[in-house]
Amino acid sequence: GAGVSQSPRYKVAKRGQDVALRCDPISGHVSLFWYQQALGQGPEFLTYFQNEAQLDKSGLPSDRFFAERPEGSVSTLKIQRTQQEDSAVYLCASSSGEVRWAQYFGPGTRLLVL
Amino acid sequence: GQQLNQSPQSMFIQEGEDVSMNCTSSSIFNTWLWYKQDPGEGPVLLIALYKAGELTSNGRLTAQFGITRKDSFLNISASIPSDVGIYFCAGRPYSGGGADGLTFGKGTHLIIQP
């Protein structure tokens, strides 16, 4: 079946622009996670949804970062007033309710802020 | 926050050799996972471990959840060229507190020498 998909795959933004990154999880997966991966590092947790409820947003680096999943399927990560330090790969992962920690990742969106 | 120490940082091996890498934590983890990431792609789940002492295989890959719950290792037997990539360990702290996402190591770069 289809895996996790993300769009766009690449995004170049000028400093100060707002960006929106989309994630389509595996069908039926109730849990959805966003991670940020800096060059040469492992992914770092940003936020977690169970269905439409955002249960944990402790990893969001600032109030410029906002995520939503209004219908419990597709999710959007929005970054307002982008800064150069926001340049990274943004990964989305989903998991079923039964095996929550076996997370399946999408290909990521590579964001470059100039 | 939690940190995972993954070693070695990189490995230069010849095709056909066996590979071993490990991951340690200063605190107890109740879940360990191993992922492989190719350039430009998201991490792919290889093996998930949920019980101390658990030993699980996936083809030529074998991983174990350490009895102390503070470590895990991954072995790859008879390496082949497509094994090249970055291997990440990831886990969920036993305390359950803090962020709901996984904590990742910094990765082991596996390089196969011609």
Grade residue B96 by pLDDT with cuts at 50, 70 and 90: low
pLDDT number for residue B95? 63
Least CB-CB distance to A41: which of B48, B90, B106?
B106
Instruction: Choose, out of B7, B100, B102, B108, the residue to mutate when testing the contact with A (most A CBs < 10 Å).
Output: B100
3-class SS shares of chain B: helix, strand, coil, % to 5: 5, 55, 40
pLDDT tens, residue order, chain A (114 aa): 589 999 999 999 999 999 999 999 999 999 999 999 999 999 999 999 999 999 999 999 999 999 999 999 999 999 999 999 999 999 999 998 666 678 999 999 999 999
Residues of A in contact with B98 (CB under 8 A): 58
Least CB-CB distance to A101: which of B48, B98, B107?
B48
Cβ atoms of A10 and A110 closer than 8 Å? yes
Q: Considering just the CA atoms, what is the radius of gyration of chain B in Å? A: 14
Instruction: For residue A12, give both structure tokens.
Output: 């170049």
> Distance (Å, rounded) from C-alpha A29 to C-alpha A72?
9
Instruction: For residue B23, give both structure tokens.
Output: 């991951």
pLDDT number for residue B93? 76
Least CB-CB distance to B102: which of A4, A103, A108?
A103
What average pLDDT does the segment B63-79 reach? 96
**Cβ of residue A102 closer than 8 Å to a chain B Cβ:** yes
| B33:A103 CB<8 A | yes
Grade residue B101 by pLDDT with cuts at 50, 70 and 90: confident
> Exposed, middle or buried, A85 (CB in 10 Å: 0-12/13-18/19+)?
exposed
| B98:A58 CB<8 A | yes
Beta partners for residue B20, in sequence order: B75
| B104:A43 CB<8 A | yes
> Distance (Å, rounded) from C-alpha B62 to C-alpha B12?
19
pLDDT number for residue B99? 59
Q: Quick one: which of A6, A66, A62, A35 has its CA closest to B103?
A: A35
